[in-house]
Structure 1
Amino acid sequence: MPDSAKVRATHLDAATPMPLPGMPALDLSLAFPAALRPAAAALTASAAWRPEGLHYTYQVTLEGETLTIPSRLYFDRSLPLDDAGRDATARGIAWCLGTRHHDGYLREECLARLLDAPQDWAAPFIVHLVGEYVDEIVEHIEAALPAFAPDMRAALAAFVRDNPRYLDTIERRTISYRPYVCPASESYPGKRVIACLRALGRET
């Protein structure tokens, strides 16, 4: 039986939902620090990046800036993987947005690319995936953490320190998505990654 967390639901092929009255347009550039917003806006200028009428977001802090990140995106899955003509920053932005896609396989592929070429401003997108429900994605993060360069480890540490309640929420999700696994089990990768992130946050 296929992993339902990774398979696109049938209803997603239905007509695009109508926007709620007064709902603002989705500005994907707000998911990134101010210095990157012009590049993010240029990358996502096409309406193809924002096909859905309804959207939900969450907010985190990165180096004193508030980022507004979409919970799920529904653009064509080829968009974030088309690296042609994109510089390193644009590729990273596209991969970060790909980690918010509804297709778990695409989230996993975009994460793999991010982990191969990590940038410090991608920390919020990497951490958020720890609280989702695809074990393979969490295992990728766990495997990558020890190999991160000092600047990436510092970025993750700062993000953890600046968002304690958010990290608490992520930790609760790692438990609630695993009802048949003892939350205290050291064999669960989500628990190990959270412990590693908290340890990073305590580093000075």
Structure 2
Amino acid sequence: MQPPQDPSNVTHVLVAAFPARLAGAVQSVLAVMPDARLAPAESFEVVEVQGETVAIPYRIYNEEPETGGSERPLTETQQMILHCLYSRHSDGRVRQRHLEKIMASSEPWVVPFVVQLAGEYVLEILDAIGLGVPGLAAPGSADRRLYGEFIERNPDFFARTERRVVSYWSCYYRRKYEVFGTYPGSALMEAFRAAASEHAGVQWPRRTPPPSATCSAGPP
């Protein structure tokens, strides 16, 4: 079992998950978070919509703060940062609870937290994303522009996300969703690709089977 890191290193890891301009706000959030029993899991790097590279931990292990436990209430931005961090929690129910607080946000730095969860295995989270990003399916919407630009900036990250969706479907859910298009992750990938195609002005490459594919078919 990995021991907790030096607190200053943990701070550095979590601050690095957000644009540098938010460092002070992130530190205010970390001040109300209980210490973790384990260090954050390895991070994945992406370029956020405004062009800055961030490194988001795959998992965190902090317990949730007690409601009303802070002497000074968090600002709206600080609350969004807290929800983003806890959307990386090791407990899927905690991830979903905090994901539901961030999906309607128009902040560019929220987007990679949502897209990463679209490539994970909890069905309730996939369903929540499908319902919770209101404009993703609407051509020309602000959500489409936001997510389309993020995917265009991070093609390799999105390709890995697509492959993860296929892998989880094939390994765990193909009995329940024999046709790929009925799996919630398939619809999300279709929506994200449509957003990327609209933003880039070209058809975004597909790295998942077509919706009509059955469990015996793999990616093209």
User: How does the TM-score come out when normalised to structure 2?
Assistant: 0.74
Q: Name the CA distance, whole Å, in 2 between partners of 1:65 and 1:173.
A: 25
Q: Deviations over 1:132-187 (max 9, x none)?
A: 11011011111123446943332211111101110010111111112241686210
Q: Name the CA distance, whole Å, in 2 between partners of 1:74 and 1:133.
A: 18
Q: Pick from 34, 54, 71: which aligns with 1:48?
A: 34
Show the counterpart of 1:17: 2
Show the counterpart of 1:198: 193
Gaps of 5+ in 2: 200-220
Mapping for residues 28-177 of structure 1, pairs under 5 Å = 28-45=14-31, 48-53=34-39, 55-62=41-48, 63-78=50-65, 85-147=73-135, 150-177=141-168
Show the counterpart of 1:11: none
| Post-superposition offset of 1:79 | 5.9
Gaps of 5+ in 1: 1-15
C-alpha contact 2:2 2:38 (8 A) present in aligned 1: yes
**Which amino acid in 2 is paired with 1:25?**
N
C-alpha contact 2:43 2:55 (8 A) present in aligned 1: yes
Q: Which structure would you say has the larger RCO, counting Cα contacts within 8 Å and 6 or more residues apart?
A: 1
Change (3 A) 1:80 1:159: farther
Q: Name the CA distance, whole Å, in 1 between partners of 2:67 and 2:118.
A: 20
Structure 2 residue matching 1:102: 3-state secondary structure = coil
C-alpha contact 1:81 1:94 (8 A) present in aligned 2: no
C-alpha contact 1:120 1:152 (8 A) present in aligned 2: no
Question: Which segment is superposed worse, 148-157 or 65-74?
Answer: 148-157
Aligned residues: 187
**Which amino acid in 2 is paired with 1:177?**
Y
**Which amino acid in 1 is paired with 2:113?**
F
Structure 2 residue matching 1:31: 3-state secondary structure = coil
Instruction: Tell me which structure has the larger Cα radius of gyration.
Output: 2
Structure 2 residue matching 1:186: 3-state secondary structure = helix
Task: Report the identity percentage.
Answer: 30
Structure 1 residue matching 2:182: 3-state secondary structure = coil
Q: Deviations over 1:76-101 (max 9, x none)?
A: 13469979711110010000001100
**CA RMSD in angstroms, aligned pairs only:** 2.8
Question: Which segment is superposed worse, 119-128 or 72-81?
Answer: 72-81
| Post-superposition offset of 1:49 | 4.7
Structure 2 residue matching 1:32: 3-state secondary structure = coil
Structure 2 residue matching 1:17: 3-state secondary structure = coil
C-alpha contact 2:4 2:37 (8 A) present in aligned 1: no
